[in-house]
A = this chain, B = another copy of it.
């Protein structure tokens, strides 16, 4: 599993209201690590709860690192708590470092589209991350409500469209499947 890196890094967006955005990004990280690529994931608006991905990430260490940049609490979209804004800003600061260091092949900004929609982070800052990315770094942005500027900048955009979801049948989020 010698690490050869990517020849050229592209930009992916996984958006829409259906299940599969974060999980697709996690699957990419998992696959990439099979080829010795190094992945860094910043999870916006998520804390350090015992998410399956956090529990298993160390198994793929040092090829996979996850940085939680939120807390597991309801965020008020109309007037977000300063705690939530501060945590998102820490995530953004870490993102700038990752871009600057350029040591990772795959960089996943999980739920950043939602953080943008909630105005926890600023679109100009995210566009700067994309513009300044190292040529060989692949960037993945997930979350509903991807703004058109990000969609325009992307090389690949998939809309995960909800056709059916068991949440609507009253089945709650389940350990091992939803987190």
Contact = CB atoms under 8 A, between A and B. Distances in A.
Contacts of A60: 56, 59
A156 B19 contact: yes
Contacts of A26: 26-27, 30-31
Contact of A138 (B4, B34, B177): B177
A10 interface: yes
B155 A171 contact: yes
A177 B155 CA distance: 13
A171 B164 CA distance: 33
B10 A171 contact: yes
Contacts of A56: 30-31, 33-34, 60
A40 interface: no
A154 B160 contact: no
Interface of A: 1, 4, 6-8, 10, 12-14, 16, 18-35, 37, 50-57, 59-60, 105-106, 138, 151, 154-166, 169, 171, 174-177, 179
